Chain A
Amino acid sequence: MDPGDDWLVESLRLYQDFYAFDLSGATRVLEWIDDKGVFVAGYESLKKNEILHLKLPLRLSVKENKGLFPERDFKVRHGGFSDRSIFDLKHVPHTRLLVTSGLPGCYLQVWQVAEDSDVIKAASTIAVHEKEESLWPRVAVFSTMAPGVLHGARLRSLQVVDLESRKTTYTSDVSDSEELSSLQVLDADTFAFCCASGRLGLVDTRQKWAPLENRSPGPGSGGERWCAEVGSWGQGPGPSIASLGSDGRLCLLDPRDLCHPVSSVQCPVSVPSPDPELLRVTWAPGLKSCLAISGFDGTVQVYDATSWDGTRSQVEPLFTHRGHIFLDGNGMDPAPLVTTHTWHPCRPRTLLSATNDASLHVWDWVDLRAPH
């Protein structure tokens, strides 16, 4: 009996639901459009890449009488072609527009998702302040009445561009050349940034550049690379910012005091990460204090940070998704590496994860601590 079959039997106990797909090309993006569809996009440098709008299998989307819906397949609802590799994709809420970023990093591409056909067409471009050859600008979208695109590869090149008028409505206006690793819009006037060094900041766009930040040389400063995500913003006290380093360290911070992490733990992962740019940490939208991390190997790990305080240093994941290792490789190829993951907006324990060998999994894990 092959190990794939073995793992499948194990999986009966570990997952409520489990789907595995083979995309035509690996993706580093998983961007939701409502709760029924995601965008994926290729990142190859030598050939044309596809951007796909995938509708989730019906069986995942229906709430009642699930048993009567046999469909377990993704439907390609829209598709488009890109000559550039795509490392980031954001959907502009309430529109049919997408913004993507890739290499070379001299401009952002705006796409139009057609209404009467299944085509995603390149619509226009947004020039970036600094022409970087090897860095690609991070992108986030202000979904206000007049949507604005926040982008930048470095702190000094951060700006917000009004999507319609193409006027720059905000710039960081600093000379700091630190490289950015993530950008996140928090509300109509606030965004968060995380630099590759671990430096974090919260910026109010109504003021001149004066972010709340952790000026200390970062939680590590041994040459690690960091990324971060802000969880439920404005929903009460407590650590809502998670920062993940390529050495496996995970820090939780309270936005009121970025200089002193609430907790700092070591995750049991194989270090160093083979590609620190792929590191990703996310907060579960439907579970209190739950986080997921990926980018170290072919697994996604879920943690419950409820009882983490300054005392804990070693932690164990609540759940580890190993499906990509067992189902996808055939033992001959190098082990897969998870490129990205995301939580389902409505189903509390459902995640999507993708790897560099073009697989895409949708999995609903079982919390083994819960009473049966």
Chain B
Amino acid sequence: MCGAGFGHFEWLAGGGAGQDVGRSCILVSIAGKNVMLDCGMHMGFNDDRRFPDFSYITQNGRLTDFLDCVIISHFHLDHCGALPYFSEMVGYDGPIYMTHPTQAICPILLEDYRKIAVDKKGEANFFTSQMIKDCMKKVVAVHLHQTVQVDDELEIKAYYAGHVLGAAMFQIKVGSESVVYTGDYNMTPDRHLGAAWIDKCRPNLLITESTYATTIRDSKRCRERDFLKKVHETVERGGKVLIPVFALGRAQELCILLETFWERMNLKVPIYFSTGLTEKANHYYKLFIPWTNQKIRKTFVQRNMFEFKHIKAFDRAFADNPGPMVVFATPGMLHAGQSLQIFRKWAGNEKNMVIMPGYCVQGTVGHKILSGQRKLEMEGRQVLEVKMQVEYMSFSAHADAKGIMQLVGQAEPESVLLVHGEAKKMEFLKQKIEQELRVSCYMPANGETVTLPTSPSIPVGISLGLLKREMAQGLLPDAKKPRLLHGTLIMKDSNFRLVSSEQALKELGLAEHQLRFTCRVHLHDTRKEQETALRVYSHLKSILKDHCVQHLPDGSVTVESILIQAAAPSEDPGTKVLLVSWTYQDEELGSFLTSLLKKGLPQAPS
């Protein structure tokens, strides 16, 4: 993308196979700089198709030379899952930018995922723990609204995106051209995170996900209600509810929700969360308190994140207690650890319920039960029959059609680019965006390249003296009729100034030279040169009505500042020579006069 004929935008093999499963990896070329936005893993595939096809980027594979930087928007695996593969196995040594929370949390998720892929599914050709560590060493963490100079031309800035802890939208700027990449964001605040926000930065292009662009989202309240209803109904009939969570995902949100309603409904049923969860979560939320919303920050000052009235720390022995209870336990996909242990204990009772709050990777127990499997093979060929109710709830905070319009309205870009759209055309959405927001809208398919012409503006300061001189020449400038201005452009220290030639010479300490052209035109004329000159004068006066034609006392003719003199060469009395002379500035008129005179003079009346 970007004008002046250089640069283009490429959309790398991204796009999901439907639902929320997808992968983000976008390459942007802006004014000669190349930036990779996100480096996600496709969660639906088990083989190499899960990694983006990096050969798209550059044929000779010298990624570190080609790419100026990589930017990661947040810690979800479909945005950062392929990063260690990219940096350690494909070979990229340049800088990787992300926010502080993302830097802290990414390696945990990557390691979890690696364990599932390698230890559980025995995959080869996967990145190792050491690779994750080496990859993270290349990370440069950034703060919100901090302008980071990647090099002397490229700068980036992060904006709050909501969605998950540490998620950011990024502005990439080179000179007067910029792109904003939103990653995943949310326009409505929830119980523990705020809403995305960006200033009126007017980028040339805004790149945003369109997975949810054609949806109208059910309100947060109704989703919460659904969750509460399921939990309430289960405990009312004496059942137990297991909610496998990732410590830094929606757990916080759901805990606050349950606490609020347990208080309101005066319920006595115990709610627990595993200690591993509290320690980790507390640690990170303490570190990143500015990333949570106002309410949390206020309460955090008074107490720790997980000090709830109705929610207590879990002890594994409690799992065998009779009666209803609700337990939040890690890990989130039921693939190991405490949540899996509890699941095995409770799965056989149809009064119980497990609520899965997010997408589960293939190979995990979570994924199996969400696919409808009711008989699971555990270690030692033991078969576990799942009689408990399985509920899949989506708590992910994404912007829908309305949210996208809101964000575009805030940033005021020239163009919008939607990625991850479905195969069928989204013409209505495109029209809506173009009409309502008055921006151009692009929707490239996988592998497609979009080129956006931009007109970069270069500001030039004009010296006052030069302006005054031009104004003195009379007519004021007219927007419809541009006037030619002569001056000298001085470029110094990224500064452009237009000054008069004299001033430029003075400033630069140069001597002025005049350039004058003289042309000889031979005419057949037997009269004396004075008469020839007079004929020339009459002729030119009658033709050049717009110009100042004068006949000087010494016999020469002037047209503006062009001098015409007639001379008689001694050899041939029938020929006269006209000497036409002009300065460099009058080149156009001079050439015109010369051709005119070459055509000869009209016959004089005798």
Contacts and interface: CB of A to CB of B under 8 A. Distances in A.
B214 A118 contact: yes
Contact of B265 (A9, A54, A75): A9
Given A79-B432, A118-B426, A327 B214 contact: no
Contacts of A50: 432
Nearest to A24: B402
Nearest to A22: B402
A288 interface: no
A68 B429 contact: no
A75 B424 CA distance: 14
A327 B425 contact: no
Interface stretch (B130-138, B217-225, B411-419, B583-591): B217-225
B431 A81 contact: yes
Interface stretch (B269-277, B319-327, B384-392, B481-489): B384-392
Interface string B152-176: 0000000000000000000000000
A22 B215 CA distance: 11
Nearest to B432: A79
A18 B225 contact: yes
A69 B393 CA distance: 8
Interface SS majority for chain A:
mixed
A15 to B, nearest CB: 8
Contacts of B141: none
Given A79-B432, A118-B426, A21 B370 contact: no
Given A9-B265, A50-B432, A81-B431, A70 B217 contact: no
Contacts of B371: 68
Interface stretch (B226-234, B244-252, B595-603): B226-234
Nearest to B225: A8
Nearest to B261: A9
A100 B390 CA distance: 44
B215 A20 contact: no
A117 B216 contact: no
Given A72-B394, A79-B429, A20 B218 contact: yes
A327 B220 CA distance: 11
A212 interface: no
Interface string A43-85: 0000010100010010000000101111111111111110000
Contacts of B229: 12
A80 B428 contact: yes
Given A22-B402, A68-B372, A118-B428, A73 B217 contact: yes
A164 interface: no
B55 interface: no
Contacts of A9: 261, 264-265
A271 B520 CA distance: 102
A68 B224 contact: no
Contacts of B428: 76, 78-80, 117-120
Contacts of B219: 19-22, 327
B20 to A, nearest CB: 9
Nearest to B218: A72
Contacts of B260: 1, 5
A72 B392 contact: no
B435 interface: yes
A262 interface: no
A287 B428 CA distance: 38
A74 B217 CA distance: 6
A70 B392 contact: yes
A12 B228 contact: yes
Contacts of A76: 214-216, 401, 428-429
Contacts of A5: 260-261, 264
B400 interface: yes
Contacts of A81: 431, 435
B330 to A, nearest CB: 20
A276 interface: no
Interface string B449-475: 000000000000000000000000000
Contacts of A117: 424-425, 427-428
Contacts of A68: 370-372, 390, 392
B218 A73 contact: yes
Counting chain B residues whose Cβ lies within 8 A of the other chain, the interface size class is 35 or more
Contacts of B218: 19-21, 57, 72-74
A57 B218 CA distance: 9
Nearest to B230: A67
Contacts of B424: 116-118
B391 A74 contact: no
A119 B389 CA distance: 40
A8 B221 contact: yes
Nearest to B400: A73
A12 B222 CA distance: 10
Contacts of B224: 8
A33 interface: no
A72 B401 contact: no
Interface in A320-340: 327
A124 B527 CA distance: 84
B393 A70 contact: yes
Nearest to A21: B216
Interface string A5-19: 110110110000111
Nearest to A20: B219
A70 B216 contact: no
By CB atoms of chain A within 10 A, which of B232, B392, B428 has the most? B428
B239 to A, nearest CB: 14
A261 B36 CA distance: 73
A74 B559 CA distance: 78
A23 interface: yes
Given A9-B265, A18-B222, A116-B424, A24 B401 contact: yes
A12 to B, nearest CB: 5
B392 A67 contact: yes
A18 B224 CA distance: 11
Contacts of A54: 216
A116 B426 CA distance: 10
A12 B232 contact: yes
A4 interface: yes
Interface in A126-151: none
Interface in B254-271: 260-261, 264-265
Contact of B215 (A67, A75, A79, A80): A75
Contacts of B390: 67-68
Most buried by B among A11, A71, A75, A118: A118
Given A1-B260, A72-B217, A117-B425, 10 more contacts: A5-B264, A12-B225, A19-B222, A21-B217, A22-B402, A70-B393, A72-B223, A73-B215, A79-B429, A118-B214
17 contacts: A4-B221, A8-B225, A12-B225, A12-B229, A19-B219, A19-B222, A21-B217, A68-B392, A72-B218, A73-B215, A76-B429, A79-B432, A117-B425, A118-B428, A119-B427, A119-B431, A327-B221
Interface of B: 212, 214-219, 221-226, 228-229, 232, 260-261, 264-265, 370-372, 389-394, 400-402, 405, 424-429, 431-432, 435
Which 6 pairs between the two chains have the least Cβ-Cβ distance?
A79-B428, A70-B394, A72-B218, A20-B219, A74-B216, A73-B215
